Structure 1
């Protein structure tokens, strides 16, 4: 029978308060966005002050000591034994540390504010935000940078080539041109110039056509090649655009080997092209990227990881001023306002402290995992995902995802977004250490290159069996995908080529 009854149940749950939501939002803000948020809070909350060492203070203030300690702290990592040499107690900063302490202000935080000082490191399973409050659909127009990054991620590039593509995309200006020296990129990433040029050639296939060209003639040439109109005469015209600018038509006819009618038609085709393919994209004004984390070689070996103190806001809770305004409050409304300001100020100081500690902790683990890249270059990028980092530091994957978004790390090999260091992995047959996708791709290429000498063409299935004998668990369709990404023909096509060879 159906009926109604009363039951009392006891359970545990996390109350996602507005302050907890705000704490999660702080974690994923970039340093520029965080600065804007802090400025707004300073204007709104009279109990908050910047920590200006040279500014004269009129009253006693409670400094954000923990945040300052995090700002100046550094972690020394040694990879001789594969583990961090820093003391575990110094590095094992849990999300709940320093969050449940009572406020030192005269008025205690409200119950809602205190509930917000809980462990948010595991909120949002699967990367989702609580109640959809934080991660709303992004309806703005994609920027050129985002458009190119999406195409690179969707392309069939190896992890190492994808890393090179990301670096090249960072060098594209608003007009869509690549500004930078490829030799410098190759030297910084520890790879050959020919490999950087090969990746750039792949990027030249991105939309819009002509993107990432290094000059106007190259940009126009890419567009003409797509239209199958880049013949020798047109190439000669592109090589002599200075004559076109001078309106030296007789000189152009001579170098191109065409008559006046053909030249007029060729010039008309040039006018129909787009000399600035990136200008059609919207987006925010370009901002200078400032590193949140700095990695330096340690003289004793390993790497030294530290936060960039210039990007960390330093705030004070003015305890004396709070006492003055609290004693002068008359009505209940005034007392409530003062209490809320005190609770918010204390919460913000602790939130900034926790944000700094979390960024340092995640960054230190990423550096520990990718120390081979820092030492030897892009070829040595190791397979890495969010779960590996999250399990190593005892946090949720969604927290690691938020930390690595819009955060940059300065290394001896350049400035990279933290997400740069996450690469794909291929499992091993015995379930032990996984293999880098790039290493597997290189092995497939080596095996196929040896076919010409042995006169024995390997099918994709045969390659799968050979790799499994070597301890690499890979599917046939994955081998086919890697082979196509390497621009290697199928086994039937290779057989015909060997017979005709």
Structure 2
């Protein structure tokens, strides 16, 4: 073999991730609200894109909110690269009796809103456009601002200055974690004056704010409720015994009987251990469904929630006005052509995203039909590969489609990932069951357990095996902890503290 240098010409094939293909894949993983923000940015950047808000606009090249249950692509992976599409029918949908001409489920009375009543009148306080999720949570101010406003009306001069410094040291839960002596030395004021100002702050709303520990926080709330008698004081001083459920020692220390102790503990549990958490913090964003599923006759109707997606069009009228030969030079025409190609691709990619979501959701409903009909106990084990093989897509595509997407049905609002669970082998040799079904069974058994005979994990294993769930004890413990349910010892103490007989 010759080792001399030479030039060879070789021909090979490779799949290159073009920027357009990368954009299409990125769009699959975005939720509807994220898509809305993405479209707003693209409309600002591309003059040929029109979101339908203006009165002017040419005929659309394609609409991003086209009917999702009609004319779907035969292969979504292929369309991501080619933009081609072919016909596709929905799951058990009778097109002769059903109508899908609305932009979204919220546009029709009794639409595909699942349990959210987005299109009807079942949910109170809703406008014609559906529920106003943004106004469900009330406006909140920061805890420091709330306390500062109260300090401005109750204090003045040096006391107000000290109060402001104390408020700055109060954490988001409402506790003062810095020693008062350190604050007094830092400000150069007597410790007694700082204590007096703190006492004023502790009288502010919310009750319990400014406490230095949990006991002081509960004591402040008990005083506000006029329940801080000597018995309650001794109970609060022995919170460690309350946590351990040592009722015998608590009765001796407080000098009360079983009934009075139960009432005191019940009163104590009504207090807020973190009063500062009522204020401040970022509001929790409302979860908006991406897909609606509803029962229609013998089948199911599945629809994209297009109410959260702006209508995206290609403004060809504006393109014709700008593309005149006398109005542009060569560089401008090239830029305008790039804008047109980018706009066309984005509209097709958004349209394909919706069709892909519908295709995946349709297969989920098909495989999990027992869940939609009978509940979580009938949820079947399902993997991404099963859905991907059924709809002839890649597993990674299904994973992206089900990320950050929510499905609304008559049983509630569920993340699409919720329907993918591991399998638990049945003890009677039947079909495997879903891990979520096992969790539901564990929760149901613990909910009805006898307070005098708390179920241990071993007992739960035997009871689950009798129901056909072949599951190990460590798996029961893992599922129980994942659901936030305590052990048998913890539940026994809980029942004792609640005075349940």
Q: TM-score, normalised by structure 1?
A: 0.52
Superposition deviation, residue 347 in structure 1: 0.6
Aligned counterpart, 2:383:
385
In structure 2, relative to structure 1, the CA distance for the partners of 1:488 and 1:318 (3 Å cut) is: closer
Aligned counterpart, 2:306:
309
Distance 1:7 1:431 in 2: 62
Aligned to 2:77, which of 75, 92, 95?
Answer: 95
Match of 1:63, SS? Answer: coil
Aligned counterpart, 1:478:
475
Aligned counterpart, 1:257:
229
Distance 1:447 1:39 in 2: 50
In structure 2, relative to structure 1, the CA distance for the partners of 1:291 and 1:15 (3 Å cut) is: same
Distance 2:480 2:33 in 1: 43
Match of 1:390, SS? Answer: helix
Match of 1:314, SS? Answer: coil
Aligned to 1:70, which of 67, 71, 76?
Answer: 67
Distance 2:286 2:476 in 1: 41
In structure 2, relative to structure 1, the CA distance for the partners of 1:172 and 1:475 (3 Å cut) is: farther
Distance 1:93 1:377 in 2: 32
Matches within 5 A, 1:33-48: 33-48=34-49
Distance 1:472 1:41 in 2: 52
Structure 1 residue ranges without an equivalent (≥5): 75-88, 103-116, 118-170, 176-207, 211-218, 244-251, 491-501
Distance 2:290 2:349 in 1: 17
Match of 1:295, SS? Answer: strand
Aligned to 2:415, which of 397, 414, 417?
Answer: 417
Aligned counterpart, 2:401:
403
Match of 2:275, SS? Answer: coil
Match of 1:70, SS? Answer: coil
| Conservation of the 8 A alpha-carbon contact between 1:295 and 1:305 | yes
Superposition deviation, residue 356 in structure 1: 0.7
Superposition deviation, residue 37 in structure 1: 1.7
Aligned counterpart, 1:184:
none
> Deviations for 1:206-264, whole angstroms, at most 9, x for unmatched residues?
xx999xxxxxxxx999xx9x979999xx6xx85774x3xxxxxxxx3xx4431999799
Aligned length: 339
> Deviations for 1:24-55, whole angstroms, at most 9, x for unmatched residues?
22222222221222122222222222346x93
Aligned counterpart, 1:325:
322
In structure 2, relative to structure 1, the CA distance for the partners of 1:265 and 1:473 (3 Å cut) is: closer
Structure 2 residue ranges without an equivalent (≥5): 86-135, 141-171, 175-205, 239-267, 490-501
CA RMSD of aligned residues (A): 5.5
In structure 2, relative to structure 1, the CA distance for the partners of 1:487 and 1:290 (3 Å cut) is: closer
Match of 2:387, SS? Answer: helix
Distance 1:90 1:43 in 2: 29
Distance 1:279 1:325 in 2: 53
| Conservation of the 8 A alpha-carbon contact between 2:381 and 2:435 | yes
Match of 1:416, SS? Answer: strand
> Deviations for 1:157-185, whole angstroms, at most 9, x for unmatched residues?
xxxxxxxxxxxxxx99999xxxxxxxxxx
Larger Rg: 2
In structure 2, relative to structure 1, the CA distance for the partners of 1:258 and 1:391 (3 Å cut) is: same
Q: TM-score, normalised by structure 2?
A: 0.52
> Deviations for 1:409-442, whole angstroms, at most 9, x for unmatched residues?
2211223332233333224699984222355568
Aligned counterpart, 1:345:
343
In structure 2, relative to structure 1, the CA distance for the partners of 1:64 and 1:2 (3 Å cut) is: same
